[in-house]
Amino acid sequence: MNDTVKHERPDPAPAGAPTGQTPYSAWMRTDMLHSLQHPVSDHPGEHAWITSVQVSELYWMLIIREIQIAQAQLRADDLAQACRTLQRVVAHHEPLNATWRSIAWMTPTDLLSILSRAVATYGKDTALQGWTYRQMVYLLGIKQAEHLQHFMPQPQRWDQLNKVLAEPSLYDDVLAYLHRRGLAVPAAVLDRDFSVPYEPGKAVEQVWRDIYAGQDDNLGLQQLGETLCDIAEGFSTWKHLHLMATRRTFGGRPAYFGTEGIAWLLPTMNEIPFPELWSARGFIGDPPAVCPHMRK
What's the pLDDT tens digit per position in 119-154? 888 877 666 678 999 999 999 999 999 889 889 889
pLDDT tens figures, 92-107: 999 999 999 999 999 9
How sure is the predictor about 216, in pLDDT bands with cuts at 50, 70 and 90?
confident
Res 11: pLDDT: 58
**Do the Cβ atoms of 66 and 89 come closer than 8 Å?**
yes
The whole-angstrom separation of Cα 178 and Cα 187 is 12
The per-residue pLDDT for range 260-294, each reduced to its tens digit, is 878 888 999 999 999 999 999 998 877 666 666 65
pLDDT value, residue 259: 73
pLDDT at 4: 53
Q: How far apart are CA 118 and CA 39, in angstroms?
A: 9
Is 204:186 a contact under the CB 8 Å cutoff? Answer: yes
Q: Residue 118: its pLDDT value, please? A: 87
E-strand stretches of 201-272 = 254-256, 259-260
Q: DSSP assignment, residue 167? A: S
d(CA 84, CA 99) in angstroms, rounded, equals 24
Amino acid at position 263, single letter? A
CATH of domain 44-198+207-248: 1.20.58.480
| Residue 213 contacts residue 184 (beta carbons within 8 Å) | no
pTM: predicted TM-score of the whole model, two decimal places: 0.89
Please give the distance of CA 184 from its chain centroid, rounded to a whole number.
29
Sign of the Cα torsion 48, 54, 57, 62 reads: negative
Q: How confident is the model at residue 257 (pLDDT cuts 50, 70, 90)?
A: low
Angle at CA 212, nearest 5°, toward 228 and 292? 105
Q: Which of 198, 199, 220, 218 is nearest to 210 (CA)?
A: 218
Q: Which residues of 106-137 are buried (b: 16+ CB within 10 A; e: fewer)?
A: beeebbbbbbebbeeeeeeeeebebbbbbbbb
Give the three-class secondary structure for 59. helix
